[in-house]
Amino acid sequence: MGSLQEFKDTMAKDLYGQTAENAKATGLCIQCKKPALERCYSELGRKEYKISGICEVCFDEIMGG
Protein backbone atom coordinates (compact mmCIF):
# COMPACT_ATOMS: atom_id res chain seq x y z
CA MET A 1 0.00 0.00 0.00
CA GLY A 2 1.25 3.50 -0.86
CA SER A 3 1.96 6.34 1.50
CA LEU A 4 -0.46 9.08 2.45
CA GLN A 5 1.59 11.54 0.39
CA GLU A 6 1.29 9.32 -2.68
CA PHE A 7 -2.48 9.21 -2.16
CA LYS A 8 -2.67 13.00 -1.82
CA ASP A 9 -0.54 13.49 -4.94
CA THR A 10 -2.71 11.08 -6.95
CA MET A 11 -5.90 12.84 -5.82
CA ALA A 12 -4.46 16.28 -6.64
CA LYS A 13 -3.35 15.13 -10.10
CA ASP A 14 -6.81 13.64 -10.75
CA LEU A 15 -8.61 16.81 -9.58
CA TYR A 16 -6.26 19.57 -10.69
CA GLY A 17 -3.78 18.03 -13.14
CA GLN A 18 -0.83 18.65 -10.82
CA THR A 19 0.33 18.17 -7.26
CA ALA A 20 0.33 20.85 -4.59
CA GLU A 21 4.14 20.80 -4.71
CA ASN A 22 4.06 21.53 -8.45
CA ALA A 23 1.65 24.41 -7.89
CA LYS A 24 3.74 25.87 -5.07
CA ALA A 25 6.92 25.58 -7.18
CA THR A 26 5.30 27.80 -9.83
CA GLY A 27 3.63 30.15 -7.32
CA LEU A 28 0.22 29.42 -8.80
CA CYS A 29 -2.96 28.21 -7.13
CA ILE A 30 -3.55 24.53 -7.80
CA GLN A 31 -7.23 25.23 -8.49
CA CYS A 32 -7.55 28.56 -10.35
CA LYS A 33 -3.98 28.60 -11.75
CA LYS A 34 -3.60 32.31 -10.87
CA PRO A 35 -0.69 33.81 -8.89
CA ALA A 36 -1.55 32.49 -5.45
CA LEU A 37 0.04 34.90 -3.01
CA GLU A 38 -1.69 37.83 -4.73
CA ARG A 39 -4.95 36.06 -3.86
CA CYS A 40 -4.05 35.47 -0.19
CA TYR A 41 -5.14 38.39 1.96
CA SER A 42 -4.28 37.10 5.43
CA GLU A 43 -1.51 35.25 7.21
CA LEU A 44 -3.78 32.21 7.55
CA GLY A 45 -4.40 32.26 3.80
CA ARG A 46 -0.66 32.27 3.11
CA LYS A 47 -0.18 29.40 5.55
CA GLU A 48 -2.96 27.43 3.85
CA TYR A 49 -1.33 27.96 0.46
CA LYS A 50 1.96 26.60 1.82
CA ILE A 51 0.08 23.48 2.98
CA SER A 52 -2.37 22.82 0.16
CA GLY A 53 -1.33 24.89 -2.84
CA ILE A 54 -4.78 26.52 -2.85
CA CYS A 55 -5.06 30.33 -2.71
CA GLU A 56 -7.23 31.92 -0.06
CA VAL A 57 -9.93 33.01 -2.53
CA CYS A 58 -10.38 29.43 -3.81
CA PHE A 59 -10.14 28.00 -0.29
CA ASP A 60 -12.90 30.33 0.87
CA GLU A 61 -15.07 29.27 -2.08
CA ILE A 62 -14.50 25.59 -1.26
CA MET A 63 -15.44 26.20 2.36
CA GLY A 64 -18.58 28.10 1.37
CA GLY A 65 -17.29 31.51 2.38
Q: What is the pTM of this model?
A: 0.84
Total of domains in the chain? 1
**Is the confidence at residue 65, as pLDDT, over 90?**
no
**Is the confidence at residue 1, as pLDDT, over 80?**
no
pLDDT in tens, 17-50: 999 999 999 999 999 999 999 999 999 999 999 9
* Residue pair 51/22 in contact by the 8 Å Cβ criterion: no
pLDDT of residue 2: 81
pLDDT of residue 36: 97
pLDDT of residue 41: 96
Domain span holding position 37: 4-62
Residue 58 to residues 3, 5, 34, 61, Cα–Cα distance (Å): 27, 22, 10, 5
DSSP structural state of residue 28: B
